Amino acid sequence: MAALLAFLHHLAAFTLAAAVAVQFVAIRGELDAANARRLSAADAVLGLSALTVLIVGLLRVFYFEKGASYYFHSVPFIVKLSLFIIVALASIYPTVQFASWRKAMKLGSMPAVAPGKLRAIRKVIHWELAGVVVILLCAALMARGVGYLGG
């Protein structure tokens, strides 16, 4: 069971990273109906994969692997979990914006998005991608026992 959960956790984590990368590329281009649909679809994948990472990760921490005591004495784990929460909270803003576009997109048009709002969405997605990269670094450090404080 532990191996299956590890597989699901990694699959969801890499799916999450891919979804943020798709958003990063799509938001850089001209915001047309196709890119708006791409952003919305990637956002749905991002949300589902983040939920999977969280649930499976917590199962692994509390019921499998090394146990909660080990993980909560690991600096990279604490940084990783904190960044995950920060990225998840930051992703709310683009998600709300993409959801507000749905009605217009269903009618076949692209809603007018103020340049300042588009810049803010781009900035959040850029920070999300940077956060995901640091989370992956923390995962590698944690797996090697770097920053373990004993306990």
CATH number at residue 101: 1.20.120
Confidence of residue 130 (pLDDT cuts 50, 70, 90): very high
In a domain, 150, yes or no: no
Whole-number percent of the chain with pLDDT over 90: 81
In a domain, 43, yes or no: yes
Could you tell me the residue range of the domain that residue 104 belongs to? 2-143
Question: What is the domain count for the chain?
Answer: 1
CA torsion sign for 46, 52, 55, 57 is: negative
Cα atoms in the 13 Å half-sphere on the side-chain side of 1:
6
**Cα gap 115→117, rounded to integer Å:** 5
Whether residue 22 is predicted with pLDDT greater than 80 in this model: the reply is yes
In a domain, 148, yes or no: no
In a domain, 138, yes or no: yes
pLDDT digits (tens, 9 = 90+) for 23-65: 999 999 888 888 899 999 999 999 999 999 999 999 999 999 9
In a domain, 75, yes or no: yes
The CA–CA distances, whole Å, from 11 to 7, 52, 100, 113 equal 6, 9, 29, 34
In a domain, 22, yes or no: yes
pTM over 0.75: yes
In a domain, 151, yes or no: no
In a domain, 13, yes or no: yes
